[in-house]
Amino acid sequence: MVLIYVLGALSVLVPAVLIPVLATRWVPAALASRAAERLRVAVAGLTEAVGRIGAALVVLLAGSAAVVTVCWPLGEALSRLEPSVDSAVFDYVHARRVDVWADINSFVTAIGDRYPLKWVTVVAAVGFAIAWRHRRWWIPLIALPLQFVVEQYTQQILAVTVNRGHPPTDVGTYPSGGCARVMLTFGIIAVLAGLTWNIPRRGRIAIATALAVLVSVEGYTRIYAEKHWFTDVLGGWVFGTLLLSVLVLTVLVAEGRVRPPRRAAGAVPVEVAATA
């Protein structure tokens, strides 16, 4: 029984320690990498060809398809762990359930349900549209409901294609929609907040850490409340992270906030070369 409480504490402590480390060491290196530069070149080319909105639409559609392409085989692989991993975790938790702790987890895990997040989405969309009234106010008014719809339908596509079933106590299946919805809803709110106000770097890291803790706790409560298999939660974390990346890039492209690609060293503009 102690192990269950330890894992609950770790669901808070691990992301609270890991995210600041990744944000200070890994993220700057990733942004300066060759892959990131190629992505900026592709976005610049798309924007020049079809405009910001067209480029954002291409990023959204292509990125969503890529997420399904990655998460489909992942789900098939994770479903093979059901007899050896999922059933063992489920039986362990089920045999050691405590009513008070179960009630707390059932209350907390409801934050990932669709109904409360619908209201969060609507209120945040209207609030940011008002805050953006002197700029592209329609971006938050579209981006927040869009993340809700995109998550729902891509998750349903994966649930149908993988079709792995669910625990005997609930109908939750792969990938965990609760984890993904929490990550996408509050992740897009955090990005829009960063575009609205000049938040210092430490503040942005704190927000990212809080989001990671919230998603991690949501995964823990989904398992303890017996709504999902353990590997459904793992899949939900991967699915939510990938889809959030796609939607964040979509918003940044539409807002024109993607850093332009670096000019190749030694490159000479055509006009200058012709004159010479």
- Give the other-Cβ count within 10 Å of 262's Cβ: 11
Q: Which residue has the higher pLDDT, 272 or 206?
A: 206
pLDDT digits (tens, 9 = 90+) for 114-140: 999 999 999 999 999 999 998 889 999
Which of the four pLDDT bands, split at 50, 70 and 90, describes residue 229? Answer: very high
pLDDT bin (cut points 50, 70, 90) of residue 264 is very low
Residue 239, C-beta contacts closer than 8 angstroms, at least 6 positions apart: 67, 71, 154, 155, 158, 175, 176, 180
Tell me the mean pLDDT in the region 72-92.
Answer: 95
7-66 residue pLDDT tens? 999 999 999 999 999 999 898 898 889 999 999 999 999 999 999 999 999 999 999 999
Region 154-182: what's the mean pLDDT? 94
- Distance CA(212)–CA(12), nearest Å, equals 9
What is d(CA 122, CA 145) in angstroms, rounded to the nearest whole number? Answer: 7
Q: What is the pLDDT of residue 28?
A: 87
Determine the pLDDT at residue 272: 39
Q: Which residue has the higher pLDDT, 238 or 165?
A: 238
Torsion, Cα of 151, 75, 170, 211 (10° steps): -50
Report yes or no on whether pTM surpasses 0.75. Answer: yes
Using the predicted structure, report yes or no on whether residue 104 has a pLDDT greater than 80: yes
Q: At residue 199, what are phi and psi to the nearest 5 degrees?
A: -85, 125
Q: 194 pLDDT exceeds 90? A: yes
- On average, the pLDDT of the chain sits at 92
Place of tokens 């989001």: 211
The helix or strand, by DSSP H or E, that contains position 268, with its residue range, turns out to be: none
pLDDT, greater one: 226 or 273: 226
Q: What's the CA dihedral at 151, 154, 155, 158 to 10 degrees?
A: -160
- Predicted pLDDT at 263: 65
Q: Is the pLDDT of residue 265 over 50?
A: no
